[in-house]
């Protein structure tokens, strides 16, 4: 099972990917998670990536493609994978096509659609815990005490990439650079469009139905 999840920031790609890996027994490959880990470790790649991520911009294609190429050669990808957040540009999709020539074609491209204003509300309300990384939401999952994590008592903060100006920028990037991928893949007959505005369960159900899982 080789699949890609495409959707704007905050559409729930990561959450849905995590649900699918249990069901499908293939790894989730999230470039966003990989770069966040590199930033956390302070590695040279992380330092380079941080500037782009904080501004809501894409990391240059050559860097991202190199990281994904290396990851896809790992033994756990033999049975397949769920790519979450890659490809994000046509250039990345073309590089992925070259890799797939060697390892076999994609089965599904799942596109999770959510309107921009809905996403802005979802993302600007997120408050992440400095201690345990748990994510509260000021409207949908408010902490009992303002600014304090219910799970561990840590301090809650708003991530740079959850500020409204950054999110609007990321949405512009998505519409300009990533959504053209839907047309790129539609000729192959593997695009499955999902309404991402429902509950986590509802969206998971739609994806499962669309991919016959
Ligand atoms: P995500 O968690 O997928 O929203 O990714 C967070 C940030 O990491 C993005 O806003 C980009 O700066 C960077 N990033 C993740 N994946 C890619 C990619 N495929 N191409 C370029 N930049 C990426």
Report the percent of the chain where pLDDT is more than 90: 86
How many whole angstroms separate alpha carbon 84 and alpha carbon 93? Answer: 13
Helix axes 61-72, 31-41, angle to 10 degrees: 100
How many whole angstroms separate alpha carbon 36 and alpha carbon 3? Answer: 22
From atom 5 of ligand 1, which residue's Cα is the shortest distance away? 32
Residue spans per domain, the chain: 2-26+79-211
Q: What is the pLDDT of residue 55?
A: 80
Atom index in ligand 1 nearest the CA of residue 170 equals 10
Q: What is the pLDDT of residue 160?
A: 82
Q: What is the pLDDT of residue 64?
A: 96
pLDDT per position as a tens digit, 47-97 = 999 999 888 789 999 999 999 999 999 999 999 999 999 999 999 999 999
Mutate to test the pocket of ligand 1, among 8, 29, 32 (most ligand atoms within 8 A of CB): 32
Atom index in ligand 1 nearest the CA of residue 57 equals 12
Q: What is the pLDDT of residue 185?
A: 96
Other CB atoms closer than 10 Å to residue 162's CB: what's the count?
A: 20
pLDDT per position as a tens digit, 115-140 = 999 999 999 999 999 999 899 999 98
Question: Homologous superfamily of 2-26+79-211 in CATH?
Answer: P-loop containing nucleotide triphosphate hydrolases (3.40.50.300)
DSSP sequence for 100-159 = HHHH---SEEEEEE--HHHHHHHHHTEEEETTT--EEETTTB--SSTTB-TTT-PBEE--
Mean pLDDT across 182-186: 95
């Amino acid at each position: 099972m080789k699949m890609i999840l495409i959707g704007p920031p905050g559409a729930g790609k990561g959450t849905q990917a995590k649900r699918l890996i249990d069901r499908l027994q293939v790894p989730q490959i999230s470039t966003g998670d990989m770069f966040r880990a590199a930033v956390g470790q302070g590695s040279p790649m992380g330092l380079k990536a941080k500037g782009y991520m904080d501004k809501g911009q894409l990391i240059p294609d050559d860097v991202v493609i190199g990281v994904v190429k290396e990851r896809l050669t790992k033994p756990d990808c033999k049975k397949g994978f769920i790519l979450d957040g890659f490809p994000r540009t046509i250039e990345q999709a073309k590089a992925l096509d070259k890799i797939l020539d060697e390892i076999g074609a994609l089965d599904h491209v799942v596109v999770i659609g959510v309107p921009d204003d809905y996403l802005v509300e979802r993302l600007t309300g997120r408050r992440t815990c400095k201690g345990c990384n748990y994510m509260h939401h000021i409207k949908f999952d408010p902490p009992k005490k303002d600014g304090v994590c219910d799970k561990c008592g840590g301090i809650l903060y708003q991530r740079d990439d959850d500020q409204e100006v950054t999110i609007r920028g990321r949405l512009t990037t998505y519409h300009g650079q990533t959504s053209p991928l839907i047309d790129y893949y539609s000729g192959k007959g593997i695009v499955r469009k999902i309404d991402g505005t429902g509950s986590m369960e509802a969206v998971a159900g739609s994806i499962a139905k669309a991919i016959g899982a």
